[in-house]
Amino acid sequence: MTGPAPAKINLALVVGPPGGDGKHDLATVYQRVDLGDRVTVEPADATTVEGFPEDTIVRAALESLDAPHGWRVRIEKHTPVAAGLGGGSSDAATALRLANAQLGSPKPPEELHELAARLGADVPFFLRDGPQLGTGDGSRLQPLDLPQDFVVLLLRPKGSAKHSTAQVYAAFDDRGGEQGYGERVAALRSALATVRRPRDLAALPPNDLASSPLAGDLRSHGAFRADVSGAGPVVYGLFQRTVEAQHAARALRKLGRTWVTVPAWYG
């Protein structure tokens, strides 16, 4: 079986203090985009993963199913790696979904969600359709009714390198970023309640974890919202029309690699 493994952007990311388990409380708006990998999963004697030698999470996802056999996995990679777009998490969720569908007794959705959450906080999102509000560590999900008729320009800055998640959160803690968390979550929920058209997404609060001056460049080229996705380094811009996003992509290509894509409802 073969299926798409779409990337995601975080339309908002509000972060609070760490809990007793060391995980930070957060509220984030997950939005799937039509840029992603292709994953093929077939039963086999032993589990092998082809096409992306650096993978560890897909293998872990399949082992969590406790199947009586192994799996042969092929990943056709298109999502930028270590970019804040959730490519590895999406691959893992897609492999989990495809493998589960081939079991004699597939696991129910709630159990699959639990397995996904153990792999990573954003993995469960990729098992759901449509945009979602992630809370807790990001794995508690609530469907959102958001407009999907906009265009997304992704920009990965030249020479950029993704810092580890631990480094990003440590820097957040060092600057006291958790202060006012309750008020910021309330502001996010209030803004979400008023979203009726794409431009209303501009009212969502900015990413707490990461920022980039390139967001200003995207806005100056017509984006009605621009921010860093996740922990970065990819920056996204939202546009009303494809031609506007393509024009901005050409103008900003000197700053890094660009992709023009659109929202995707499901995997």
Q: Are residues 189 and 63 in the same domain?
A: no
Where among 109, 143, 177 does a domain terminate? 143
Which domain does 200 fall in, by range?
A: 151-261
Residue 163's pLDDT band (cuts 50, 70, 90): confident
Residue range 217-238, pLDDT digits in tens: 999 999 999 999 999 999 999 9
Residue 137 annotated among the catalytic residues of the structure? no
Asked if pLDDT for residue 85 goes beyond 70, the answer is yes
- Residue 212 sits in a domain whose CATH number is 3.30.70.890
In this prediction, residue 252 carries a pLDDT of 97
Q: Which of 37, 122, 208, 227 is catalytic?
A: 122
Q: Are residues 241 and 174 in the same domain?
A: yes
Where among 86, 112, 143 does a domain terminate? 143
Q: Are residues 14 and 139 in the same domain?
A: yes
Phi, psi for 210 (deg, rounded to 5): -145, 150
Q: Are residues 137 and 158 in the same domain?
A: no
Structure tokens at 224: 């009605």
Q: Are residues 123 and 163 in the same domain?
A: no
Q: How many structural domains is the chain composed of?
A: 2
For residue 95, CA distances in Å to 60, 64, 80, 127 come to: 10, 11, 18, 10
Structure tokens at 124: 């469960």
Asked if pLDDT for residue 96 goes beyond 70, the answer is yes
Q: Which of 8, 162, 208, 227 is catalytic?
A: 8
Residue range 164-207, pLDDT digits in tens: 777 888 888 888 888 889 999 999 999 999 999 999 999 999 99
pTM of the full predicted structure? Answer: 0.94
Residue 21 annotated among the catalytic residues of the structure? no
